[in-house]
Amino acid sequence: MPGDDIRIRDDYRGFARRHARSAYHPVGTCRTGGGEGSVVDPDLKVRGIEGPRVCDSSIMPQPISSNTNATTIMIGEKAADLKRGM
């Protein structure tokens, strides 16, 4: 942790940049939902573009407490079901 000698915001930023790490895969970068601010609708379709769906971990609302692999596979399976009309 930074010592008592760090007093200004730039020092904290520098410390965070040098030492911050994540063991998690990035998720939640593509807002999903029914609101106008969402990128993807509940059917995983990209708003404003006909055709493409987003079916990866970017639509997860928050990180999960385990590996994202199985959850991402299930998102893909759900997208396949939606595409087939199931």
In the chain, how many H helices and how many E strands? 2, 0
Q: Which residues are catalytic?
A: 25
Q: Vertex 75, ends 71 and 79: CA angle to 5°?
A: 165
38: its two tokens: 């969402």
